[in-house]
Amino acid sequence: MLNLTRQMIEIRSILLSIGGSNALRLPSIVVIGSQSSGKSSVLESIVGQEFLPKGSNMVTRRPIELTLVNDSTLAAETAEFPALKMYNMTDFQQVQKVLYELNMSIPETEAVSSDPIQLVIKSPRVPDLSLVDLPGYIQVEAADQPVTLKSKIRELCDRYLEEPNIILAISAADVDLANSSALRAAKKADPKGERTIGVITKLDLVDSETARKMLTNKKYPLKMGYVGVITRPPPSTSLFRRQSGAQAFVAQQNFERAYFKEHKDSFVGTTVSTKALKKKLMKVLERSMANCLKPMHVVVSNELEEASYKYKVEFNDRDLTSEKYMAQTIDNLKLAIKEFSERFGRPELRALLRSELDQKVLDLIALRYWNKPPMTNKNKESENEPSLDDLATAPPNDTFWHRKLDIATASLTKLGVGRLATTLISDAILTEIDVLLDNTDLRSHPMIKNAIKDAAVSVLTTRYNSTAEQVENCIKPYKYEIEVDDREWALSRQHATVLLKEELKQCTSAYNELKKTLGGNKLKQITTYLENENNLVGQTIAKDNLGFSPGLLLRGREALFLKERSRLLAMRLKFLQSSCKSKDNKYKCPEVFMDLVAEKLTQTAVLFLNVELLSDFYYTFPRELEKKLGKSLTPEQIEQFAKEDPKVKKHIELQERKELLDLALSKIEDVMALQKRIV
């Protein structure tokens, strides 16, 4: 058998997922009926489950587009709200609750919304049908509604009542049909009664003669006729019904069947029972869907042509899906990391660590050698300490200078080089990853960017402690003894000279800068004052400060400091040239020896950092990325990622639209071909 409705419902759901054009809609059965007409009971008895929200105030504020799918593989009814990504729901009280909440999301002041709720119910007992439960008939009737709201509700309903939809107009038998608001609305939309099915509910409440008259309504004859039903829940089983929905409906149908059997003679020549209604709906829908096939084929072909043209012009037919975009992004990122690994290897690691240790060496030497101890009462003994000027002439075995160098060296080797170096390199890698990310398409993807950064941090954190420990262990011997050979000494002398020259340059330029801002004369006045008054130390400023402000005096002190530092540096540079050629003179050449220690620390640390941290990072990070981005993201997350970029979003959506139209068109053509064969 050609199961046309089923296939059309599939096509319909494809077209629905494309959204947009109203022309893409296939016919549905639109259910209307005033309050208490029995509309919910009819819908629920078709489905075989109680699922519609109940309430005295209007609880249907949005159209419910209900798709019924016959699925013989299922044991019972399941519901889904595709827009909410809720699937396989078997608890219909829960379905009722979701529907209630979705309706209540529209404030009472707005009365209704045209945004439909999509609900799919699959069951072995339902026919393939597509129904719309329309809101509003109560409101249109209610006298106290503002006119604008009434017209809003009417507009919404009228749109649904248009062709090619079929109208299911529900009226209760215990109310005169002339007063049926459902029939009145149907007549307006379908004056010739060509696409309306009348349903008369509550037939058990009227005598057979009245019932018969209603079912053969002459005042508004319908081509598809009237169907009489009894959909009231059997009173004695109301408790039972709450416990098991499907069984309660079986009881209702039994009641209905028994009733019509008993009054068989009165209903000859009419159509009665829920079963007959279901059959009729299927037949009618199938027929009207078949009528829609050709016009739908034209509309879908046109839309497809337009989408294909746009796709070619705007995106040059380049195939792109969210998954592809994600894979491409990961590949680009891996490539960027590979390039980074070629740019940032052992030499760069070494340069980075060395320059950090150079700074530490300069700080330590400044602290231990170049700084003049301040003349305060507290350290009077330091007055007798030899100054750096005395170092040149000190005897070679002078213990004071030996101790000084030993302490300075220990400060360097016990600095915590392991942690310092590991932190330094980790930070450098993270900074580089940041730069790298900003240079790729990932710029516009904060979510993935953070995931990548987290992955980098987690790889580095895993290695941090063990790397720091390894490095610290390997430099341990230098804490006790440092052997020096002539070649190393010569290299360090050269390097120390460069460093000192640079330091001297910086001191001189800082001094000149001060001179420029204060003016040469002024600076001279201040420094002369400071030197004469011996006001260099602390905050003890002489009462008569010649009108110099504290700020000026501070700058004056700074200038004197820079001048003295420059003098010392120049002296040390000269000494390094003349008297530091041999490693035997190491106690007199602390700058050279400390440089040599820094070099040894760097060399050793780099060996381990390179293997333990850097190479490991380059190996592990791309795999971690693959794991984090490629495999553990859900399709929704991948889609969200791809569509974060507006251009990519447009590209993917157009491609999806094109593919879906293509699919819908081929399905329509299949159905048309099949139909031709059967006819």
For ligand GDP, the binding residues (CB under 6 A) are 33, 35-41, 201-202, 204-205, 230-233
Q: How far is the CB of 144 from ligand GDP (least distance, A)?
A: 19
3-state SS class at 17: helix
Burial class (CB in 10 A: 0-12, 13-18, 19+), 96: middle
Q: How far is the CB of 50 from ligand GDP (least distance, A)?
A: 10
Quote the tokens at residue 325: 């975009």
Concatenate the DSSP letters of all residues of 651-673 into one string: HHHHHHHHHHHHHHHHHHHHHHH
Q: How far is the CB of 131 from ligand GDP (least distance, A)?
A: 14
Q: Which is nearer to ligand GDP, 277 or 448 (CB)?
A: 277
- HSE value, Cβ hemisphere, 13 Å, CA-based, for 336: 19
Cβ partners under 8 Å of residue 36, min gap 6: 172
Q: Which is nearer to ligand GDP, 39 or 657 (CB)?
A: 39
Q: How far is the CB of 231 from ligand GDP (least distance, A)?
A: 4
Q: Which is nearer to ligand GDP, 201 or 492 (CB)?
A: 201
Q: How far is the CB of 70 from ligand GDP (least distance, A)?
A: 24
φ and ψ of 191, to 5 deg: -60, -30
Q: How far is the CB of 109 from ligand GDP (least distance, A)?
A: 23
What is the C-alpha separation between 616 and 610, in angstroms, rounded? 8
Which stretches does DSSP call E strand in 106-177? Answer: 117-123, 129-133, 166-172
Cβ partners under 8 Å of residue 92, min gap 6: 49, 50, 51, 77, 79, 245
Q: How far is the CB of 291 from ligand GDP (least distance, A)?
A: 30
Q: Which is nearer to ligand GDP, 182 or 504 (CB)?
A: 182
Q: How many CB atoms lie within 10 A of CB 178?
A: 10
Helix axes 322-343, 646-678, angle to 10 degrees: 150
Rounded to 10 degrees, the C-alpha dihedral 303/308/310/311 comes to 140
Quote the tokens at residue 608: 């381990």
Query: In DSSP terms, which residues pair with 650 in a beta bridge?
Result: none
CA 230, 233, 237, 243 torsion: positive or negative?
A: positive
Quote the tokens at residue 188: 């307006």
Q: How far is the CB of 256 from ligand GDP (least distance, A)?
A: 8
Q: Which is nearer to ligand GDP, 38 or 418 (CB)?
A: 38
Q: How far is the CB of 44 from ligand GDP (least distance, A)?
A: 7
Q: Which is nearer to ligand GDP, 62 or 658 (CB)?
A: 62
Q: Which is nearer to ligand GDP, 255 or 593 (CB)?
A: 255
What is the C-alpha separation between 337 and 339, in angstroms, rounded? 5
